[in-house]
Amino acid sequence: MKRKTGNFFWVLFIFAIIVSAVLIWIVRSNASFTETFYSLYNNKVETPIRAVLLSDLHQKEFDDGNGKLAARIQELKPDMILIAGDMVNKKDTDIAGCLSLCKNLAEIAPVYYGLGNHENEIVYGSELNREFFEKNEKLSEDKPENFTPIIVDDSLIAGLEEAGVTVLQNESVTVRVKENQIDIGAVSTNLSSFWPYSGQFIYDFSYHNSEHFKILISHRPEPVMEYIPDYPVDLVVSGHNHGGIIRIPGRGGLLSVDEGLFPTYDEGIFKYDSLTMIVGRGLGSHGWIPRIFNKPELVVIDIN
């Protein structure tokens, strides 16, 4: 009896060591970020430009105030910084860290921020699905792509703008970067609401100023590839799927809230006709499932 008890103790002890080692490895692997570089060629670009893409930080800090993250972005010398949403959490609405980081980023290069579903929950009080829009009487029937009337909390947008960030929601700006004319726009609607509530903006953005290089920030990648893969948009940047949360070597991401198991748009580069979409794995996480084999990612895009 003593021998069996002793064997059980050692098995339990070894199991505890293995579990502890795995947990320590997960924590350490997510304590820093990796960098992924993409190079694109487009004849609309006369002078090379560099964009840095951040997404899905979810209020994570790599050090105090994310100084390490900002410092590395400064070293990369971007011409613009693109943010594809979910830098905050919908339930833990302490936005001070996000605003501080964005202020630091805006001192490095112009920052263009497209909202994610977590920002939408804060700003509009709901996910921007079709059911929400159809029940909301404040939305104009003449201009359903204008979400300003349904804002319930403007503190995040106001704070970002005060920090020097350009916040885009179904709207775009034209900017001159070196010798290039670039149109940058953003959407954050999902599959159910993308076409009826962002369709007119997307059409106008895509076909106006056709000689300009077009960058669309879409937090979710799925609506773009479902509805507008053949539109004349040059570059789409997305996030949302967190790289599939758990990545299986040789197979890719395991899980996406929108796509389910083994999502198609977990990370990487996707091309259709003239459109190129880059999906970042994100920098943080949300929910109880940890990132495994899925190091936080900062994306660098060189366009020549």
For the stretch 19-56, pLDDT in tens is 666 666 566 667 889 999 999 999 999 999 999 999 99
pLDDT in tens, 280-300: 999 999 888 899 999 999 999
Model pLDDT, residue 2: 54
For the cut 80, the answer to whether the pLDDT of residue 12 exceeds it is no
pLDDT digits (tens, 9 = 90+) for 224-272: 999 999 999 999 999 999 999 999 998 999 999 899 999 999 999 999 9
β-pairing verdict for 297-303 and 34-40: parallel
Among 241, 264, 253, 238, smallest CA distance to 294 is for: 253
What is the reported pTM? 0.93
SS3 27: helix
Residue 194 has pLDDT above 90, yes or no: yes
* Strands annotated E in the chain: 34-40, 49-54, 80-83, 111-114, 166-168, 171-177, 180-187, 213-218, 235-238, 247-248, 252-253, 255-256, 260-261, 268-272, 275-279, 297-303
